[in-house]
A and B are shown apart, each in its own frame.
Chain A
Amino acid sequence: MARIRPFCMPKWGIEMTEGTLAEWMVSEGDAFSKGQTLCLIETDKITNEVEAEYDAVVRRILVEQGGDAQPVGTLLAVFADGEASDSDIDAFVEGFTPAETGVAAKSEKQAAAPPKVTEVARAAGGAGPAKIETNRPISPEALKLAEREGVDLSNIEGSGRNGRITYQDVDQALRPAAKPLLRGTAVLPSEDGDVFATPLARRIAAIHGIDLSRVNGTGARGRISKADVLALVVVDDPASLGARPADFVAGDNAPAVEPFDRIRKVVARRLTKAKQDIPHFYLRVTARADALLELRKTANLVLGCKASVNDYIVRASAVALARHPDVNIQVHGEEIHRFPHADISIAVASPKGLVTPVVRQADRMRIDQIAAETRRLIDKASAGRLSMEDMDGGTFSVSNLGMFGVEQFDAIINPPQGAILAVGAAIRQPAEDKDGSVVFESRISLTLSVDHRAIDGAAGAQFMATLKQLIEEPEGLFT
């Protein structure tokens, strides 16, 4: 019996309502296997590869690549894993209704969208979560989560009693596939009949060349445990210090070839496109930072926070953006989207690569609130746990390499945003004082990369003037 399965526009995060099929990696008639890349889907925020979740054959492609954006839940293709006739596929497409997602309600623009999309009970104006009607057993919290995130329950196997769907099941369905870091097998420690030790203790002893027969066990029933061996590891070290380093011999220098992983592929694509498509121009300003550095100590003490210089610059950028809405924009095709508040993406180097979580409405936040939110996002990024909601959107970016001692650099715009600020290190430099004498002051270099299609030089320059003034007279950050 052939199993026919739909492939629909996925939903990545709350704000995603539609996506564009950028590229098909498979064609009609192709067989693919689990884990193979099927296509690239672009939202207005990110581009992502979609991997096959099972083995099957592409029987019908309904949405060609490079077309208009399609609503979430739109049927993109039909896969089958057995022998299905063309008429079976036709019947499937004809009878297809996006299951329980609710978000797939056909928009008026999408007259050519696939047939028979269910009209779902949604509040007028599209606000609020879509109601899910199901007769499958599901916990109340799981149902709430599924409704809030528009999850298709038909793909979820309930792990509870009698197949009841739990919160954990829905939560798992919302997460991307796992990529466990495998560390592989280890050397099996031999069981020496005379020595009574745990396997881990044996492993550590083998690594450090410790003779277990002279170790006193302090574990249960006199057994040698991890702690007993570790206590000896330090003592055994000095023996290795006397060794003389070997003479230098030039060895092999063959490169280790490492293909781009998926995050790097997306970053590479987006940055290449941004640098090629966006006519960048750059505005460079140097701001005296002495007052800011001085005020930061006091302000952090008063507010009881540990706000970094970068947090102050994010705050200054947000205040300046509120005053210059011409710069607080996104560019979508031939439209400029202006935002009332500044959602600032901060560039963070995470173990998985460059990520840009968003500090929302930073112009309305106090400096301690910005510091706390930034800390939360950086911690999440370090743990590799940033969600789509954390990275979605953003009206402006701040990238700071000052902590590495970089004095000045130019950043690439993070589309669809209109500008990005590159912040350098605070450098002590001599300057001429009013009376002609030489004084030293701290200066921070700021470079704004601007999309000239949407922002003119004067608008960018006014923004930078305000930013410079806010940094040099930082009292303005606390109004």
Chain B
Amino acid sequence: MAKMMYREAVVSTIAEEMERDDSVVVLGEDVVGGMGTAGGPEAIGGIWSTSTGLYGKFGADRVIDTPISESAIVGAAAGLALSGKRPVAELMFADFIGVCLDQIWNQIAKFRYMFGGKSRCPAVIRMAYGGGFNAAAQHSQSPHQILTGIPGLKVVMPSTPADVKGLLRQAIRDDDPVIFLEHKALYAVSGEVPDDPEFIIPFGHARLSRAGQDVTIVSSGLLLGFCETVADKLAEEGIGCDVIDLRTTSPLDEEVILDSVEVTGRIVVVDEAPPRCGLAADINALVAAKAFASLKAPPQAVTPPHTPIPFARELENAYLPSAERIEAAVRKVLDWR
């Protein structure tokens, strides 16, 4: 086990996979870091430091700086993937999927289906998502609800450095297109990561991070940590919470969620995206449809309101789900009459 940051887990996994497989290439805006500046390549480093050192090790043929055009990045990744490469493309902000959505939605996600299963498109599109950075409405969103709703894509939302390791390796080796969502606020979080170069976490396999028998809390990404804090606090009162980290929103680990709700009879889903047609609504609908007989209280969702993310610090804090709101939701399902 080595201790490393979430962002270091991203870089080291890409580096290990590039080492192992020549077909893995990296492309994106400023992934070389400092190209064209007085200091030369790698003088500055990409804004998230998630490709540091790759250029020096693998060269310009495999680490490609692109123009500021998300359509070009994702379009090039699609072409690379179709012609036998395993591209790892980076969008600086997940908010920018809008300009390249045709490539993602109508092309990458559809190739295998449109060509009768005869083609594969093993592209990984990494993107930084999430709020809490005072970065306003166009640079703080969590667009996984749009991407999860597209058949043909796999959507990954790791919450720990170890999960980044196991899931990103699976994403690069996967023969289908994978959207890899990294939460900005987690980049500097450290954690133990297995050294095994073959450590892989299969998709659709949720992780139980706290075990309890009274309430099921489902979340992913940054908010998982909030859920764990709440579960630990409530455990002191004798309230036991199952905290489920989805890891991937597509495929969804239906079995682990339903297994848990059949024990607890109560569910709170915590998600960073707005409430309408989102992940929380999706999972609560699943539970209402398939675990109705076990429910002791209506399923609850803790999400932001149905508005853009505000810029002002105080408003953004009020907008994003907090530990207090998660705790209140847990108490609400426990106190249901």
Chain A interface residues toward B at CB < 8 A:
168, 172, 175-178, 180, 182-189, 191, 193, 196, 198-200, 203, 219-221, 223, 225-226
Contacts and interface: CB of A to CB of B under 8 A. Distances in A.
10 contacts: A172-B336, A183-B212, A188-B208, A193-B196, A193-B199, A196-B205, A198-B255, A199-B211, A221-B202, A223-B255
A220 B334 contact: no
Contacts of A199: 206-208, 211, 242, 244, 256, 259-260
Interface of B: 194, 196, 199, 202, 204-214, 235, 238-242, 244, 251, 255-256, 259-260, 263, 296, 298, 334-337
A135 B305 CA distance: 25
B336 A178 contact: yes
Given A180-B334, A200-B259, A185 B205 contact: no
Nearest to A188: B211
Contacts of A203: 211
A120 to B, nearest CB: 27
A contact face: mostly helix, strand, loop, or mixed:
loop
B336 A182 contact: no
Contacts of A180: 214, 296, 334-335
Given A180-B296, A183-B212, A185-B235, 10 more contacts: A177-B335, A184-B238, A185-B213, A185-B241, A188-B209, A191-B207, A193-B196, A196-B202, A199-B260, A219-B255
Contacts of A185: 210-213, 235, 240-241
A322 B265 CA distance: 47
A176 B335 CA distance: 10
Contacts of B296: 180
B294 to A, nearest CB: 13
Contacts of A219: 255
B262 to A, nearest CB: 9
Given A177-B337, A188-B211, A183 B240 contact: yes
| Chain B interface SS verdict (over half) | loop
A168 B202 CA distance: 41
B75 to A, nearest CB: 31
Given A178-B335, A225-B255, A183 B213 contact: yes
A223 B212 CA distance: 22
Residue of B199, B205, B238 ringed by the most chain A CB atoms within 10 A? B205
Contacts of A186: 211-213, 240, 242
Interface centre among A168, A172, A182, A193 (most CB of B within 10 A): A182
Nearest to A222: B202
Nearest to B212: A185
Given A175-B337, A193-B199, A226-B259, A184 B239 contact: yes
Contacts of B240: 182-186
A175 B196 CA distance: 56
Contacts of A223: 205, 255
A186 to B, nearest CB: 4
B212 A220 contact: no
B185 to A, nearest CB: 24
